[in-house]
Amino acid sequence: MPYSAGRHFLQIPGPTNVPDRVLRAISAPTIDHRGPDFAALTDDVLAAVKPVFGTAGPVVVYPSSGTGAWEAALVNTLSPGDRVLAFETGHFAALWRDLAGNLGLDVAFVPGDWRHGVDPAVVRAKLAADPTVKAVCVVHNETSTGVTSRIAEIRRAIDEAGHPALLLVDTVSSLGSIDYRHDEWGVDVTVSCSQKGLLLPPGLGFNAVSEKALRAAKTASFPRAYWDWRPILAANERGYFPYTPATNLLYGLRESLALLREEGLPQVFARHRRHAAATRAAVRAWGLEVLSLDEREHSPVLTAVLVPEEHDADKIRALILDRFNMSLGTGLGRLAGRVFRIGHLGHFNDVSLAGTLGGVQMGLELAGVPIDADGVRAALRVLESA
Ligand code: PLP
C-alpha cells in the first residue's frame, strides 16, 4: 500500500491498536532470560496479571497464540477419548471443537445459530443427561459474532446439575475488556492471549488454572511436553521459564497491565460497554441489523453488522480500507460476505469511535447501501449522555 497520512484505523476485533507506552516498553533491549533482572520481570508480570483474570491462583504464560493456549487447556486436564461438551456459538467455538477432536477427545457439540450465546438451561440439561462429560468448553466472547455468553450463569447451571465436569473458558477476546472472574465463577482453566484487551501484539498465550484443574493435571494422560504446566510452574517459582520466553512481549505486558491498573478495570469495562451501546445505536439508526439477538449477550468489544442480502460485506470493507485506511473485521465461516465486524476494544476512546463510525457510514453510502439516518449522530448522542 502507498503511504497514507495519519494513523491506520485498525478496527478489527483483534489484534488491536498497541498503545505507544507499550510499544516503547517492548523496544527495550532484550536481557538474559536466565539472569537476575529477568526474575524480577517474571515476578512482576505474574503477580500483576492475576487481577485481570480475577484469580489468586497460577497463570501460565506461553510464547504462543490463543490456539496454543486452547490446546494447553485440554492436554493438561484431560485424557484421550474423554467426553467434552462444547457449544456452537460461532467460528471460534467450531475451531476449538475441531482442535479437541483432532487431539482425540470425544466432543458433544451442541448446535447453535451463531446469533446467541451458550444457554445455561441447555448446559444444565446436557450435563444432567450425561454423567460421563469431563469438561465443558465455552467461548466467553465469540469474536466471529459479537455475542458474549454468561459464564456466571453457566457455572450455576453446572452446579445445579451437580456435575463434576471441569469448566474451560476461552477469554481470548474478552479478557481485559469485559468483566471476568476466574475464581468467583469457579472456572477451571481460563484461556487467553495477548493481542486484544491486553493491548499487546500477538505472541503470548495464557492459562489461568484452578486447584481442581491442577489436580486433574495429575491424572490427565494426554502426552504433553511444550504445553505441560508442571515444568513452567516450577520454573516460575524461581522467576524463570523452562525455555526462552518472549522477553520483549513480557516487557510490554508489564506496561499494558500498568495501563489497565491506571484506568481501573471497572472503568475499562464501562468504557467498552459504552462504546458498544453507541455502536449499536449507529447500526440501528442506519437501519441495519446487529447480528447478536439477545439484549443480555451483546458484546462490549465488537459489533457484527449484517448487510442487506444484495450487498457483499467484504466489498464494503475493501472500499473502506481503500478510501479511508481503516480495517474492519471480515465475516468468518458461514458469515463470509454477510457481516462486517467493528472492533471497539482495547486502546480506544470516544473520538476513536466517532472516527470509526464516520468511516463506516461513508463506506456504506459510497457502496450504495441504503441508510435510514445519521448513525454517527446517534452514536455521538450516546457518548455525550454518558
Ligand atoms: N478464540 C477466540 C475467541 C478468538 O477470537 C481467537 C482469535 O481471534 C482465537 C480463539 C484463536 O486465537 P489465535 O488466533 O491467537 O490463535
Which pLDDT score, from 0 to 100, does residue 27 have?
Answer: 98
Task: Give the whole-number percent of the chain exceeding pLDDT 70.
Answer: 100
What is the torsional sign of CA 103, 109, 111, 114?
negative
Q: Which atom of ligand 1 is nearest to the CA of 171?
A: 3
Q: Is the pLDDT of residue 4 over 90?
A: no
Q: CB of 14 closer than 6 A to ligand 1?
A: yes
pLDDT in tens, 360-378: 999 999 999 999 999 999 9
Q: CB of 236 closer than 6 A to ligand 1?
A: no
Q: CB of 149 closer than 6 A to ligand 1?
A: no
- Burial string for 10-19 (b: 16+ CB within 10 Å, else e) reads bbbbbbbbbb
Neighbours of 6 (CB within 10 A): 8
Task: Give me ligand 1 centre to Cα 118, in Å.
Answer: 18
Instruction: Delimit the domains of the chain by residue range.
Output: 20-262, 264-385
Distances (CA, A) of 49 to 28, 46, 58, 101, 190: 20, 6, 10, 31, 13
Q: Is the pLDDT of residue 1 over 80?
A: no
Which pLDDT score, from 0 to 100, does residue 2 have?
Answer: 80
Task: Give me ligand 1 centre to Cα 67, in Å.
Answer: 6
Q: Give 284: exposed, middle or buried? Use CB within 10 Å, 0-12, 13-18, 19+.
A: middle
Q: CB of 172 closer than 6 A to ligand 1?
A: yes
Q: Is the pLDDT of residue 228 over 80?
A: yes
Task: Give me ligand 1 centre to Cα 32, in Å.
Answer: 30
Q: Which of 64, 74, 57 is nearest to 208 (CA)?
A: 57
pLDDT in tens, 62-103: 999 999 999 999 999 999 999 999 999 999 999 999 999 999
User: Phi and psi of 135, rounded to 5°?
Assistant: -150, 145
Task: Give the model's confidence band at 3: pLDDT under 50 very low, under 70 low, under 90 confident, else very high.
Answer: confident
Q: How far apart are CA 266 and CA 274, in angstroms?
A: 12
CATH class of 20-262: alpha beta
264-385 classified as CATH 3.40.1350.10: no
Q: CB of 278 closer than 6 A to ligand 1?
A: no
Q: Which atom of ligand 1 is nearest to the CA of 143?
A: 5
Half-sphere exposure of 208 (CA within 13 A, CB side): 29
pLDDT in tens, 269-310: 999 999 999 999 999 999 999 999 999 999 999 999 999 999
Among 172, 173, 335, say which to mutate for ligand 1: greatest number of ligand atoms within 8 Å of CB. Answer: 172
Q: CB of 248 closer than 6 A to ligand 1?
A: no
Q: CB of 208 closer than 6 A to ligand 1?
A: no
Which pLDDT score, from 0 to 100, does residue 161 have?
Answer: 98
Which pLDDT score, from 0 to 100, does residue 342 have?
Answer: 99
Q: Distance from CA of residue 190 to its chain's centroid?
A: 11
First to last CA, the chain: 38
pLDDT in tens, 137-190: 999 999 999 999 999 999 999 999 999 999 999 999 999 999 999 999 999 999
User: Mean pLDDT for the chain?
Assistant: 98
Which pLDDT score, from 0 to 100, does residue 29 have?
Answer: 98
Q: What is the mean pLDDT of residues 117-128?
A: 98
Q: In this structure, what C-alpha cell is assigned to residue 331?
A: 465475516
Q: What is the mean pLDDT of residues 131-139?
A: 99
Q: What is the mean pLDDT of residues 347-361?
A: 98
Task: Give me ligand 1 centre to Cα 60, in Å.
Answer: 17
Q: CB of 71 closer than 6 A to ligand 1?
A: no
In sequence order, the 6+-apart residues with CB closer than 8 A to the CB of 363 are 316, 317, 319, 320, 323, 324
Which pLDDT score, from 0 to 100, does residue 370 have?
Answer: 96
Q: How far apart are CA 48 and CA 137, in angstroms?
A: 26
Q: Which of 90, 83, 129, 125 is nearest to 108 (CA)?
A: 83
Task: Give me ligand 1 centre to Cα 152, in Å.
Answer: 22
Which pLDDT score, from 0 to 100, does residue 386 have?
Answer: 87
Task: Give me ligand 1 centre to Cα 42, in Å.
Answer: 25
Which pLDDT score, from 0 to 100, does residue 214 have?
Answer: 98
Which pLDDT score, from 0 to 100, does residue 239 have?
Answer: 98
Q: CB of 66 closer than 6 A to ligand 1?
A: yes
User: Phi and psi of 106, rounded to 5°?
Assistant: -100, 100
Q: Is the pLDDT of residue 206 over 80?
A: yes
The structure's pTM equals: 0.98
Nearest CA to ligand 1 atom 5: 143
